[in-house]
Structures are given as C-alpha cells and as structure tokens.
Amino acid sequence: MAGENAKRFSTHTAVSGGSDGNKNGEKKDLWSSMLDKATSAQPLPKKNILLLGGTVNSQREFFESLASSELRRTFDRNGYKMPPVANSFALGYAYYDVLDADQEDTLARISLHTLASPAPSFASLIRPLLTPESIPNTLIVILLDWSKPRKWMRQLRQWIFLLRTIMPELGPECEATMEEVMASWKDRGRGGGTNLDGTASGPPNDIALPLGPGEWEDALGLPLCVVCQNAENMEVFEKNHGWREEEFDQILQFLRTVLLRHGASLIYTTPSTPSQLPSLIHSSLGIHSLLKKSPLKHNVIDRDKIMVPPNWDSWGKIRVLRDGFDVELVSKGWGIDLIEHPQKGPRKKEDGKTGGESADQGESDDDEYDDGSEDGDESEEPEGSTVALYESQVRDNDESALHSASKASQSTKLEVETMDTQSFLAEQAKALEKYRQKEEESSRDEAARSKVAKSNNYSSRSDDDEHGYYDGEKPSIELKGLEHAIGPVQFNMGGIQVDADDMVQRLRERQTNQTGNAEGEDVGEDAGEDVAPLDTEKLQDFFQNLMNRRGGPGK
C-alpha cells in the first residue's frame, strides 16, 4: 500500500508539473499571437489635401465645412475643441478624422496643407509633400471666390503653372506613380473601374468607354477639385450690378470647359447652406462609409449649388446650358495659354518683396500679391487666348458699379437708396432757414412800400387842405372809401332836408363864377390885385334867416 501510494503521488506530481509547464507555454503563445495580430493590423488610412488659393479666412471656412460635422460628436463630447488651422505663414497645416455614419469608427485621417500665394519661391515647400507613397492619397483643391469672378482664369493659370514647375522635379518614381493614378482616374465612372462612391461602374465585361473631345488633355498627375466659395454674391451682382442669367451661365461654361481638360471636378459653396462638398472631397480621396452610401448628384441647374463630379461632364452637356458658346474655341485657347504664354511669377511691389514672400500672407486678401490679374495688358496674351476671351466677356466689378449708377437715374428701378436721417434733417434745416430769410425780406419790403404809400397819401391830402378843397377829378382812394363808409351828410333846415356836400359844392361853383366875372371885368385895371375873400358873415346871416322863418312867403 505504501508503495502504491508513493507511486500514485509521484505520478500525480509528475503529471501536475507537466501540465503547469504546458499551460505556461500555451499562455505565452496566446499573448504573442495576439500581439502579432495587433501589430499586423491595418493602420489608419492617411489622406492629404493640398489646398491652394483663397485667404486665411476662406481656407478656414473650407476646413470647417469639412471637419465640423465630423468632429462635433467626438471632440466636443470629450471636452476638446476643433484642431486649429495654422495657415498664417507660408505653408499652413491642419488635420481632422473622418468618422463613419455612426460616429464611432474612424475611416481615415486627412492632413490639410494650405498655400495662399502662387509665388514660385513656394514650390520648394510643396515638393516634400509629394512622394510615391503620398501621391495616390493626395487631392489638389483650388479655391476661387465669387467676389471677383473676372480673375478666375488668370488665377487658375497661375496655380497650374506652379504645379507644372513642381511635377518634373519629383523624379522618375513619382512620375510613374502619377501616371498610374491618372490612368485609374480616367476609368472612374466611365467603365473598367469604380465610381467615386465605391460602386462598380461602366458596362459589363469591364469595357472602358473612350474619352470624349477635350477630356483629360492636360492631366496634372493628381486629381483636381475647384471650389467656388461665397456663391451668395451672385444675387448681389444681379440686384446691385445688373448681371443677367446668361452671364452666370457663360462663366460656368468657361469653367467647365477649362476643367474638363484636367479631369477636374467643380462645386459652388455658400457658408450658410449645406452642400455636397464633404461627400465630393472624401469620395475623391477614396474614403467611403461602410454603413451608408452617399452617391454624388450632379447639379448644373441651380446656379448657386453647382456640382460637377469628375468624368461626368462633356462638350455636349456644356453646349446645352446656353446656346452660342464655342466650346472648342475655349478649350483650344486654354491649351494655348498653358503652352505659349510665358510663366509669370508675382511681380515685386514697392517694398522690393513679392506678395508671395510676405511672412504673414494670410491676413491679406486676394490682392496681397500681384498675380497678373490687375495688369490690364490683355494685348500681351497670345492670339486665341482663353484668358483674354474670358476677361473680354465677363464684366469687372468697377464696370458693374458704373452700370448700376446709370440705372439709378431710371424710373423703373424698384430699390431706392435712402439718405442718412441726420444728413436729411441737416439739409432740411438749411432749406427752412433760407425760406425764413426770404419771408423776412419780403415782409420788410412790403412794410417799406406801405410806409411810402401812406406818406404819399398824407402829402396829397395836405396839399388839398392848403387850397381849401379836394380834387374832384382824382379823389384819393382813402377818401372814397370814407365816403362810402359814412354816406352823405344831411341836416334839416326849416323842414327841408339839405345835403351838406351838395350845398358846399354849389357854393364853390358860385364863388368860382363870381371870381371869374370879377377877373374878366377888372382884367385891365386890377389884374395884379388879389381876389376878395368870401364873406362868411353874410353867408351865416343868410342861413340864419332861413332857419328863423316861421311862416310862408305870403305872411
């Protein structure tokens, strides 16, 4: 029994010891396999956007339109803020993570490299960003602004010139990678490849459709997207500057024709209006949601919501927008601009520095550097230039302002520009003061005339009083008015109504006759003597006798 127990114990000890050794070995192999799987897992995809053009503010608006929807539920929920945009000096940088539809899984991380000036000196900053590994995951975005649409063709040409100076210096390996990228992009949405939303495209049997006229004739080696910001200014041009619908269509036709040569996409954006910009950018970078498909929808009808995906446009679709547009001429002229026109960098300003070499380029607007859009020397453009043709058919803002000023004088204008309240009241106060002064002057003149008339009337009455009678032929206006007011003066003399005025008039006539007869008789003898005055005492006695009569003539 003792031997069996010892044997059983030794056997148990040996087995237990052997099992412990196997368990430790299994645990070691399990952790190593898990670590190996974690290290061999697929890393987070990294995508790059090379943002060209615009200003500090417009570049930030572009970044926020892409990143705000992605970061709202992640960074804000954890108390973090959106990553800042460092774009105030030369080459700027920012980044954000693209989340899936459920806001849980991270699909990719996008690095945003910004550059606001096409100065050739900045080419050395862009070259390190383009490597054989980064080229397949890089998208070029050019920002244009609707505040100055007449500059668009020159700005596009400047940026393409800058890219063309960089591409040949990248080396043969990068050139081969870019050719592969362009070959795959030409097949997207056309057959033999995939659409931007990741779905299969084209007819069966993977037969790729041939390219149309004017398509992919000037491939840049990288996919291109043009974003026209602040499309709300189109309404301002229409209302204040008299732009018409055909002018907006013409600008769109020029853009679509030029971008068709580079296989580029086009979109109009408004800060306060949602757009397909995030879907277009993410699809162009090959980022697709695993939970929700969001296909891109072209839009060439709504003028402020234009969206033209790559490989969708054609000459036929451009002609349909507005009759009379020569697509072939514009496309050929753009090729002339890119080949025959000498490349011009930003000209030096008065301080001896180019606008692109400014340390703080972002705080300036589009005019911080001279990109040739203000030189006005359209005669320097080669014959058949699209830039010259575009600028001859698109009105400048100054010309639009003159046009609106001429319309201001027309009565058909609906809008009326009001004057500032204080300015209006100041002008009215001046007008009232002038009116008051005129009234005072007219009152003074009227008083002076009245005073002169009264003095004349008084002097005429004084003259009549001196002679003892009034002029019967020309009585004054005041005397006539007085007579009319009080009527004739009458009194009762012995039962007889006697008119005093008539009586005085008769006495005057009698005296005149007597005086005339006396003068006629004594004209030879007493011509120099005075006429005897009227004997008033006899007259008084005569009237008194008449009043004292009591009986008739027979008494």
Residue 207 has a pLDDT of: 61
Residue 88 has a pLDDT of: 78
End-to-end CA distance of the chain: 215
Average pLDDT rounded to a whole number, residues 108-120: 92
The secondary structure of 204-263 as a DSSP string is GGG-PPPP-TTSSTT--SS-EEEEEE-TTHHHHHHHHS---HHHHHHHHHHHHHHHHTTT
Of 408 and 135, the one with more pLDDT: 135
Q: Indicate the range of 34-43, 136-145, 376-385, 542-551 predicted with least confidence.
A: 34-43
**Phi–psi pair at 117, nearest 5 degrees:** -120, 135
Whether 476 has a pLDDT exceeding 70, the answer reads no
Is there a contact between 82 and 67 (Cβ–Cβ < 8 Å)? yes
pLDDT band per the 50, 70, 90 thresholds, residue 259: very high
Of 300 and 464, the one with more pLDDT: 300
**CATH classification of 46-407, choosing from 3.40.309.10, 3.90.1570.10, 2.40.50.100, 3.40.50.300?**
3.40.50.300
Most confident stretch, 219-228, 441-450, 513-522, 533-542 = 219-228
Whether 458 has a pLDDT exceeding 60, the answer reads no
Q: Torsion angle of alpha carbons 251, 252, 258, 264, nearest 10°? A: 140
496-499 and 490-493: which strand pairing? Answer: antiparallel
Q: Indicate the range of 65-69, 230-234, 277-281, 353-357 predicted with least confidence.
A: 353-357
pLDDT band per the 50, 70, 90 thresholds, residue 105: confident
CA distance 153 to 484: 96
Residue 223 has a pLDDT of: 94
Residue 402 has a pLDDT of: 44
CA distances from 5 to 9, 12, 13 (A): 6, 10, 12
Residue 415 has a pLDDT of: 62
490-493 and 307-308: which strand pairing? Answer: unpaired
Residue 448 has a pLDDT of: 83
Average pLDDT rounded to a whole number, residues 540-546: 76
Average pLDDT rounded to a whole number, residues 205-234: 86
Q: Indicate the range of 145-149, 194-198, 406-410 predicted with least confidence.
A: 406-410
CA distance 116 to 109: 23
Which helix (DSSP H) or strand (DSSP E) does residue 416 occupy?
none
pLDDT band per the 50, 70, 90 thresholds, residue 465: low
pLDDT band per the 50, 70, 90 thresholds, residue 31: confident
Residue 328 has a pLDDT of: 94
Is there a contact between 274 and 290 (Cβ–Cβ < 8 Å)? no
Percent composition of the chain: helix, strand, coil (DSSP 3-state, to 5)? 50, 10, 40
Most confident stretch, 17-21, 264-268, 286-290 = 264-268
Of 49 and 197, the one with more pLDDT: 49
Q: Indicate the range of 247-256, 308-317, 349-358, 501-510 predicted with least confidence.
A: 349-358
Structural domain boundaries in the chain: 46-407, 418-449, 479-508
Most confident stretch, 190-194, 222-226, 341-345, 547-551 = 222-226
Whether 270 has a pLDDT exceeding 50, the answer reads yes
Q: Indicate the range of 19-23, 506-510, 531-535 predicted with least confidence.
A: 19-23
Of 241 and 451, the one with more pLDDT: 241
Average pLDDT rounded to a whole number, residues 442-455: 80
Whether 319 has a pLDDT exceeding 80, the answer reads yes
Whether 327 has a pLDDT exceeding 80, the answer reads yes
∠ CA 431-433-437, nearest 5°, is 120
pLDDT band per the 50, 70, 90 thresholds, residue 504: confident
Of 43 and 486, the one with more pLDDT: 43
Token pair, residue 513, equals 């006759």
pLDDT band per the 50, 70, 90 thresholds, residue 261: very high
Whether 501 has a pLDDT exceeding 80, the answer reads no
Residue 153 has a pLDDT of: 95
pLDDT tens-place string over residues 54-95: 998 999 999 988 876 544 444 444 444 566 777 778 899 998
pLDDT tens-place string over residues 354-378: 343 343 444 444 444 444 444 444 4
Mean pLDDT of the chain: 74
Residue 292 has a pLDDT of: 76
Whether 279 has a pLDDT exceeding 80, the answer reads yes
Sign of CA dihedral 25, 26, 29, 31: negative
Whether 283 has a pLDDT exceeding 60, the answer reads yes
pLDDT band per the 50, 70, 90 thresholds, residue 273: confident
pLDDT band per the 50, 70, 90 thresholds, residue 462: low
Residue 491 has a pLDDT of: 63
Average pLDDT rounded to a whole number, residues 412-434: 81
Average pLDDT rounded to a whole number, residues 175-186: 92
Residue 253 has a pLDDT of: 96
